[in-house]
């Protein structure tokens, strides 16, 4: 293992911000329901998924009001930006993992000029649905009922990519991920838990405390720690498919749909980029992937570009939790013809590359449906058909996942997948 390859995973509430905004929101809007719900959670009657579902129902449906609520409580812990700058200077990717209401994380980071330093945000999604708020948990473990967001799965995915992971947190629900990390920076409740469990950690107050020597524990944590309620024996590595909204098996290949961010799929071996011809960064998917992967991706891409509509090339994943990125150039709707054949070629060629590289799992965004203007219903039908037609030839690829950014794109892809013969 390359000893210099280090990644940070940071909790958000109480770690990046001084206050726990999710708790304050739930208490403010939930009143006595907050006390009852938190007491039941504390007694183990349900896990964070249950807590989030119950408390989301008490939030106002106006997300602007919630963002304003979060904004005035969004004081950052001292030294954060210096720490981010120093991590970047050392070439260390930073990930945020949060099990709260996810909606305010990105706006707060943007407001403080910190978003650009973060490779990936693994958080729940609090969205307005049918006149009320709902919190989706796309990073939950499928069978473990304890957390809404399996932060441990992110730590494990990064370790499997050869990173030594330093975990930074403060709270009760950081305990599992911390136990899997190579080094722990803990304060408050997390420090108490580590002390009680005999887990080595470094105490921190503010981010200046993280600027000095690294604090590696030597041995990484043990599985049993992730077992407060009889979950022993759950293999997080092979079972991190929480949040799957629909799946269908076609010729032995599982095709799934999830709502989420393409750069936050740590259990996939490869993700697909809806690239531009020059394979540069930009807006949409390409921007998100290049930001998360870091500048070495662009360096490699320079050697692979340009590509034509329908073509695909493969590169390393760099700071992404995935081993590879497969870059496809989708057709621009109304310009690159015949559109459907070119779009189908993207999916076929991407799967062929995954197969040649003996990859087991691949995630696709909805190629061409953003700035390239392909109507999403038409694109989803083409994509599903192309995958289904390619499936019989796949020996290594076992999982193909559509990762859709919006609820409506998810619904459209679910329907297209249901229609597949």
Residue 351 engages ligand ADP in binding (rule: CB under 6 A): no
Quick one: how far is CA 148 from the chain centroid?
Answer: 13
- Is 292 a binder of ligand ADP (CB under 6 A)? no
Rounded CA separation 343/375 (Å)? 12
According to the binding rule CB under 6 A, does residue 262 interact with ligand ADP?
A: yes
Long-range contacts of 109-115 (CB under 8 A, 24+ apart): 109/16, 111/71, 111/74, 112/74, 112/76, 112/80, 112/81, 113/81, 114/76, 114/80, 114/81, 114/84
Binders in 355-374 for ligand ADP, by CB under 6 A: 365-372
CB closer to ligand ADP out of 277 and 393: 277
Q: Which is nearer to ligand ADP, 182 or 409 (CB)?
A: 409
Q: Which is nearer to ligand ADP, 255 or 286 (CB)?
A: 286
Instruction: CB nearer to ligand ADP: give 144 or 342.
Output: 342
How many CB atoms lie under 10 A from the CB of residue 308? 11
Q: Shortest Cβ distance from residue 120 to ligand ADP (Å)?
A: 10
Does 102 participate in binding ligand ADP (rule CB under 6 A)? Answer: no
Return the sign of the alpha-carbon dihedral for residues 123, 358, 368, 378: negative
Q: Which of the stretches 28-36, 104-112, 179-187, 278-286 binds ligand ADP when contact is defined by CB under 6 A? A: 278-286
Q: Is 386 one of the binding residues for ligand ADP (CB under 6 A)?
A: no
Segment interacting with ligand ADP, rule: CB under 6 A, options 79-87, 154-162, 389-397, 401-409: 401-409
Please name the helix (run of DSSP H) or strand (run of DSSP E) that holds residue 196, with its range, or none.
helix 188-197
284 binds ligand ADP (CB under 6 A): yes
Rounded to a whole number of angstroms, the distance between the first and last alpha carbons of the chain is 45
Among 182, 261, 267, 336, binds ligand ADP (CB under 6 A): 261
Our CA angle for 177, 182, 186, nearest 5°, is 60
| Alpha-carbon gap, residue 70 to 48, rounded angstroms | 20
| Beta pairing, strands 253-259 & 246-250 | antiparallel
Q: Backbone phi, then psi, for 97, in 5-degree steps?
A: -125, 125
- Considering only the stretches 72-80, 147-155, 247-255, 283-291, report the one whose residues sit in contact with ligand ADP under the rule CB under 6 A: 283-291
Q: Which is nearer to ligand ADP, 183 or 310 (CB)?
A: 310
Q: How far is the CB of 276 from ligand ADP (least distance, A)?
A: 7
Min. distance of Cβ 398 from ligand ADP in angstroms? 21
Cβ burial, residue 26 (10 Å; 0-12/13-18/19+): buried
Whether the CB-CB separation of 273 and 313 falls below 8 Å is answered with: no
Q: Which residue has the tokens 């939030």?
A: 59
Q: DSSP for 101-167, please give it.
A: -GGGHHHHHHHTT-GGG-SEEEE-EEEEETTEEEEE-TT--SS--S-SS-HHHHHHHHHHTT-EEEE
By beta-carbon proximity to ligand ADP, the closer residue of 117 and 364 is: 364
Q: Which range, of 5-13, 189-197, 220-228, 282-290, touches ligand ADP by CB under 6 A?
A: 282-290
Among 121, 181, 253, 274, binds ligand ADP (CB under 6 A): 274
Q: Is 75 exposed, middle or buried (0-12, 13-18, 19+ CB in 10 A)?
A: exposed
> Does 409 help bind ligand ADP (rule: CB under 6 A)?
yes
Q: Does 405 bind ligand ADP (CB under 6 A)?
A: yes
User: 270-274 and 120-123 as β-strands: parallel, antiparallel, unpaired?
Assistant: unpaired
Q: Which is nearer to ligand ADP, 185 or 372 (CB)?
A: 372
Query: What is the spatial distance between Cα 78 and Cα 81, in angstroms, rounded to a whole number?
Result: 8
By CB under 6 A, the residues from 8 to 47 that bind ligand ADP are: none
* Minimum distance of ligand ADP from residue 36's CB (angstroms): 37
346 binds ligand ADP (CB under 6 A): no
Count interface residues toward ligand ADP (CB under 6 A): 20
Q: Which span sits near ligand ADP by CB under 6 A: 8-16, 37-45, 153-161, 255-263?
A: 255-263
Q: Which residues ranging from 301 to 340 are in contact with ligand ADP (CB under 6 A)? A: 330
Binding site for ligand ADP (CB under 6 A): 261-263, 274, 284-286, 288, 330, 365-372, 403, 405, 409
């Amino acid at each position: 293992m390359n000893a210099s390859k280090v990644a940070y995973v940071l909790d958000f509430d109480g770690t990046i911000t001084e206050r726990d905004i999710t708790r304050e929101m739930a208490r403010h809007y939930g009143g006595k329901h907050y006390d009852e719900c938190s007491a039941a959670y504390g007694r183990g009657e349900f896990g964070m998924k249950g807590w989030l579902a119950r408390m989301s129902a008490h939030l106002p449906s106006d997300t602007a009001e919630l963002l304003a609520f979060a904004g005035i409580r969004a004081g950052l812990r001292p030294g954060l930006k210096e720490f981010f700058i120093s991590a970047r200077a050392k070439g260390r990717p930073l990930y945020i993992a949060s099990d709260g209401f996810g909606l305010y994380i990105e706006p707060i980071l943007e407001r403080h000029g910190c978003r650009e330093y973060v490779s990936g945000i693994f958080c729940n999604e609090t969205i307005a649905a049918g006149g009320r708020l709902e919190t989706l948990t796309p990073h939950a473990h499928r069978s473990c009922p304890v957390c809404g967001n399996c932060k441990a799965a992110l730590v494990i995915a990064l370790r499997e990519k050869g990173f030594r992971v330093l975990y930074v947190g403060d709270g009760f629900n950081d305990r599992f991920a911390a136990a899997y990390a190579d080094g722990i920076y803990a304060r408050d409740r997390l420090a108490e838990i580590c002390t009680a469990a005999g887990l080595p950690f470094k105490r921190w107050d503010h981010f200046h405390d993280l600027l000095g020597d690294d604090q590696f524990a030597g041995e990484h944590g043990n599985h049993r720690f992730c077992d407060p309620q009889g979950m022993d024996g759950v293999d997080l590595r092979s079972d991190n498919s929480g949040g799957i909204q629909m799946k269908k098996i076609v010729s032995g290949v599982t095709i799934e749909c999830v709502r989420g961010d393409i750069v936050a799929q740590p259990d996939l071996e490869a993700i697909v980029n809806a690239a531009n011809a020059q394979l540069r960064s930009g807006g949409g998917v390409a921007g998100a992937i290049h930001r998360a992967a870091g500048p070495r991706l662009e360096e490699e891409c320079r050697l692979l570009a340009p590509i034509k509509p329908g073509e695909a090339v493969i590169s390393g994943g760099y700071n992404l939790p995935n081993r590879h990125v497969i870059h496809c150039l989708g057709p621009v709707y109304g310009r690159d013809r015949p559109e459907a054949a070119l779009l189908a070629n993207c999916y076929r060629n991407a799967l062929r590359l995954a197969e040649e590289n003996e990859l087991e799992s691949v995630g696709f965004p909805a190629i061409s449906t953003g700035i390239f203007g392909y109507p999403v219903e038409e694109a989803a039908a083409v994509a599903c058909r192309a995958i289904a037609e390619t499936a019989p030839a796949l020996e290594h690829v076992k999982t193909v996942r559509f990762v859709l950014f919006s609820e409506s794109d998810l619904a459209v892809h679910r329907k297209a997948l249901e229609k597949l013969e």
